Chains A and B, each alone.
Chain A
Amino acid sequence: MKVKKWKLASFLLPCLLLFALIYLAPMCMVFGSSFFEWKAGGVFKFIGLDNYINAFRNDARMLTALKNTGIWVVLQSVVHVMLGTVIAFMLSKRKKGWKVLRTIYMIPNVVSAAALAVIFLNVFNAQYGIINSFVKTVTGKPFMKNWFFDQNSAFITVTWSWLLYTGMIIILVLAGVLSIPEDVVEAAKIDGATDMQINMKIRLPLIRTIIGTCEILAATSMLREFELIYLTTNGGPGDTTLNLPLYLYKTSMTDNNYGYANMMGVILIIAGVIVVSAINRLFKMNEADY
């Protein structure tokens, strides 16, 4: 079917305009100023690639932030998406209560990050937190682990605050699984395939692009994650839970070093393009299912 070019353009244009206004223009500013020494007090000087060179040569904190960001991207795109997909498949059986569960799993996504941070700080509080109280009851011994602020547990505790909350993945995958035509599955059943085989060989491949979408959303959310870390550990203790978006925020808002901060913005965008392209390839996102 041949459609006139201008008709396609008319569909793309509003979205592109919005994009240009809210993203493209700011991104250009971010990109351009990453080559300047730009600080509070009116300092504005072209320095070429110095910001980039300094970041990788002399800034240990930058490398830690990059490393942590990387670990979180991997964890989120593997563990988080897998967990959400498994739950969605379990719910797709439409056993009693599946609708209620689907709503419940989404609750943490509905609650704002500011509220979640307060809750987690209390749950993991060393003195009266629910985790420590539980351990104390079970073992009968006083237990005072300071989850968020002990160097050995801070990273895993922060990770906990998003890794298990897969509500968004669940609704995306569930909507996909439930819209698979019944007859496709029926045919396989007649051929004697087990439930597990149907899931792995038929349902999963059919929602490939949706899983790919989940991967992209999960991975890139970790390239922007900021609020929950800022409001719980603020990157500490030391640099244990510092990631790149938080370091960017601190560099810009606390150090008032705007050029250097925007350099990190560029690094994040580049990292993101790599991640998105890789996932696009891996899940063959540009090919239709039918």
Chain B
Amino acid sequence: MGGKSFKDILWKIFRFVFLGFMALISVGPLVWIVMSSFKSNKEILSSAFALPTSLSFNGYKAALDLAPIFKFYGNSVVISFTSTLLNILIVSMAAYVLARYTFKGSTFITLLLSASLLVPTSALLMPIYKIMMGIGMFDTRSGLVLVYAALGLPTSLFVFKSYFQGIPKELEEAAYIDGAGFYRTFFVIVFPLAKSGLATGAILQFLTSWNEFMFGLVLTKSTEVRTLPLALNYFTSQFSFNYTAMFAALTMVILPSIVIYVLLQEQVTTSMVAGSVKG
């Protein structure tokens, strides 16, 4: 018995150190960014890991002066939210059909859709630019919403599909017996049950849209529709830089996405607890 508890203690220590180390390397970057936003350029470049000598908000002021951050902020929020909603709605419908029904070509459709996981962004740029020009969605928020919803398509598809597969079929069959139709069953019975999976997909989709840079650059041209990641480049150019402002802007970009993540995550947990009671 004594040996076992010794092993238990060792295991506990190991787990503590392991989880602690992982936490440290995960939270480190964030702390460093926030810390750097209060330092001067001199301090950042000469002693990157020293604490700031004074708590100055000059970086934030400079960031707002140098780049149209607020305008970009609004766009990022609108575009990320809309593309997340769009993505969840249409991908979950497809994922449901592919998870539940086998028909001629269903495997092919799954494979085809998953091919979108594999296309390198740099190869997509030029064709998508041409397509967006062609259908008149160049330089619009809707164009970006469409592209971002598509960028998250494969990830959402896999996530949703695996969660739908985990939901017992009996519940749906019971619904059918009660006389509910196909659409009703999906939206009223299945959708709520898969909430934790849907929220997980939503988090990933939101982060994809929030941080995407290259399409945001290529598919827009006016400041009116541009997104936040583009603002970060206002602070470094070939021969000049303002690191303080850059880190201040980064802090302003990152913190809201963490808040949104925590909110959505809360949703996942609540629904899971509810789910396990039912199950």
Contacts and interface: CB of A to CB of B under 8 A. Distances in A.
Instruction: Verify whether A and B have any Cβ pair under 8 Å.
Output: yes
A217 interface: yes
Interface string B260-274: 011001001100100
A47 interface: no
B56 interface: no
A226 B47 contact: no
Q: What secondary structure prevails in chain B residues at the interface with A?
A: helix
Given A178-B272, A253-B122, A130 B49 contact: yes
23 contacts: A1-B173, A26-B123, A27-B119, A30-B119, A99-B265, A107-B258, A112-B253, A122-B48, A123-B28, A125-B48, A175-B272, A178-B272, A224-B120, A245-B120, A253-B122, A265-B119, A271-B118, A272-B117, A273-B115, A276-B111, A286-B110, A288-B165, A290-B168
Interface string B85-121: 0000111011011111111000101111111111111
Interface string B114-155: 111111111110011001000000000000001101110111
A200 interface: no
Nearest to A244: B120
B27 interface: yes
Question: Which 4 A-B pairs have CB atoms at the shortest separation, nearest pair first?
Answer: A272-B118, A181-B279, A26-B127, A15-B94
Contacts of B161: 209, 213
A72 interface: no
Interface string A253-290: 10000000110110011011100110000000110111
A110 B258 contact: yes
Nearest to B277: A182
Contacts of A108: 26, 29
Contact of A15 (B90, B196, B250, B254): B90
Contact of B265 (A102, A115, A116): A102
A176 interface: yes
B114 A179 contact: no
Interface in A1-56: 1, 3-5, 7-8, 11-12, 14-16, 18-19, 21-23, 25-27, 29-30
A288 B258 contact: no
B183 interface: yes
Nearest to B158: A213
Given A272-B115, A276-B117, A8 B149 contact: no
B254 A110 contact: yes
B91 to A, nearest CB: 6
A90 interface: yes
Contacts of B155: 217
B172 A87 contact: no
Contacts of B23: 101, 104-105
What interface size band does chain B fall in? Answer: 35 or more
Contact of B269 (A15, A99, A212): A99
A27 B26 contact: no
Contacts of A271: 118
A158 interface: no
B122 A3 contact: no
Interface residues of A, number: 95
Most A CB contacts (10 A, CB to CB) among B103, B116, B120, B172 go to B120
A146 to B, nearest CB: 15
Nearest to B25: A164
Nearest to A258: B126
Given A18-B149, A109-B207, A175-B197, 12 more contacts: A12-B98, A23-B124, A104-B23, A106-B26, A111-B30, A133-B49, A213-B158, A224-B120, A226-B120, A261-B122, A264-B120, A265-B119
Contacts of A22: 116, 124, 128, 131, 146-147, 150-151, 153
A217 B158 contact: yes
Given A103-B261, A105-B26, A268-B118, A277 B146 contact: no
Interface in A74-91: 87, 90
Contacts of A265: 119-120, 123
Given A11-B94, A175-B272, A245 B103 contact: no
Nearest to A252: B122
Which interface residue of B46, B91, B124 has the most chain A CB atoms within 10 A?
Answer: B124
